[in-house]
């Protein structure tokens, strides 16, 4: 019987402890073997909960595992992902994979030079009903455009992401934008032009042109009133309108386990997942173009 793949976890916060760690534990043929975090005490506590080893040196952890799942801010993730890839670790990355195009491309280069597999954990794309819908819409074709709205309200007491400094600084464009793009691009094609406008709070409105001539709009926000929070994704074209399934019962832990299975399948010689490091870098490129417009305005 083959031994389980040893997975290291980078991060000790809410998403690491409530999604990544249990996601690895729930995945077949994988074990959470190691934890590293910027707070050694939290790393020790989280590791003990899952029977893993806590490391105070990230490089030592990378040398001890086969794959790494990241649950840290993107500015922390990018250089560590380069280091992990160079150590021969397969990468399960959070979105966005970086906050600059240069850092994102560095991750891609490290992955390609090391010959390791990579998957970006964009939650919806690892929920089987959603992924099946995306692939069905892609295969059907004939879409003129799409309307995406990802609007939440997180900066209030009791929300586990309220204290996230990088979300406070970068806002919905960088946190929610990757979700919208992960749905828009496979259905309508790569983004060839982007226009961005700021709304109230951190709300951003995007108008996107896609290869082949389709267009789309995406509204993302982390600061709408709580009663206005919504999630919708619709495509339209010669067959009318189609909406993504949202009531499918797939929780983030299940989605993480699915993402890990996809990573391990790719690492074993199977097909690369469409949400790999290269697609993550393409996403960062679009977000950076939008951010540049917002900064000028």
135 near 273, Cβ under 8 Å?
no
Instruction: Copy the structure tokens of residue 272.
Output: 């690369």
CA distance linking residue 93 with residue 265, whole number of Å: 16
Q: What is the rounded radius of gyration, in angstroms, for the C-alpha atoms of the chain?
A: 19
For residues 35-48, average pLDDT: 97
The confidence score (pLDDT) of residue 297 equals 86
The confidence score (pLDDT) of residue 2 equals 58
pLDDT digits (tens, 9 = 90+) for 60-106: 999 999 999 999 999 999 999 999 999 999 999 999 999 999 999 99
Taking CB atoms within 8 Å and a gap of at least 24, the contacts of 39-48 are: 39/12, 42/12, 43/12, 45/12, 46/9, 46/12, 46/16, 46/17, 46/21
Task: Locate the domains of the chain by residue range.
Answer: 5-123+252-275, 128-246
Structure confidence at residue 249 as a pLDDT band (50, 70, 90):
confident
Q: pTM of the predicted model, to two decimals? A: 0.96
The confidence score (pLDDT) of residue 272 equals 94
5-123+252-275 and 128-246 share one CATH topology? Answer: no
pLDDT digits (tens, 9 = 90+) for 11-28: 999 999 999 999 999 999
For residues 218-233, average pLDDT: 96
Instruction: Give the sign of the dihedral formed by CA 210, CA 292, CA 195, CA 149.
Output: positive
Query: Does residue 171 have a cis peptide bond before it, meaning omega lies within 30 degrees of 0?
Result: no
What fold is seen in the domain 5-123+252-275?
Rossmann fold (3.40.50)
Residues 6+ apart with CB under 8 A from 252: 19, 23, 123
pLDDT digits (tens, 9 = 90+) for 153-205: 999 989 999 999 999 999 999 999 999 999 999 999 999 999 999 999 999 99
Compare 297 and 215 and report the one with higher pLDDT.
215
DSSP 3: P
What fold is seen in the domain 128-246?
Dihydrodipicolinate Reductase; domain 2 (3.30.360)
pLDDT digits (tens, 9 = 90+) for 114-161: 999 999 999 999 999 999 999 999 999 999 999 999 999 999 989 999
């Amino acid at each position: 019987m083959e031994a389980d793949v040893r997975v290291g976890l980078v991060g000790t916060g809410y998403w690491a402890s409530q999604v990544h760690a249990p996601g690895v534990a729930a995945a077949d043929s994988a074990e959470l073997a190691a934890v590293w975090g910027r707070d050694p005490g939290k790393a020790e506590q989280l590791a003990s909960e899952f029977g893993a080893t806590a490391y105070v040196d990230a490089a030592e952890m990378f040398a001890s595992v086969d794959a790494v799942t990241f649950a840290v801010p993107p500015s922390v993730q990018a250089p560590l992902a380069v280091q992990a890839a160079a150590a021969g670790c397969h990468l399960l990355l959070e979105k966005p994979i970086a906050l600059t195009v240069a850092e994102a491309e560095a991750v891609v280069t490290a992955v390609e030079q090391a010959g390791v597999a990579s998957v970006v954990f964009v939650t919806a794309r690892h929920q089987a009903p959603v992924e099946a819908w995306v692939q069905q819409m892609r295969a059907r074709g004939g879409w003129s455009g799409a309307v995406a709205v990802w609007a939440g309200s997180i900066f209030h007491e009791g929300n586990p992401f309220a204290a996230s400094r990088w979300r406070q600084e970068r806002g919905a464009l960088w946190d929610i934008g990757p979700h919208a793009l992960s749905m828009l691009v496979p259905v309508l094609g790569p983004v060839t032009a982007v226009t961005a406008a700021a709304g109230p709070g951190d709300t951003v409105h995007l108008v996107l042109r896609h290869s082949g001539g389709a267009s789309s709009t995406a509204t993302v926000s982390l600061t709408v009133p709580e009663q206005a929070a919504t999630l919708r994704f619709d495509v339209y074209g010669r067959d009318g309108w189609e909406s993504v399934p949202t009531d499918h019962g797939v929780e983030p832990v299940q989605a993480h386990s699915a993402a890990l299975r996809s990573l391990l399948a790719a690492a074993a010689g199977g097909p690369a997942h469409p949400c790999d490091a290269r697609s993550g870098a393409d996403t960062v490129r679009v977000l950076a173009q939008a951010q540049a417009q917002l900064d000028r305005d």
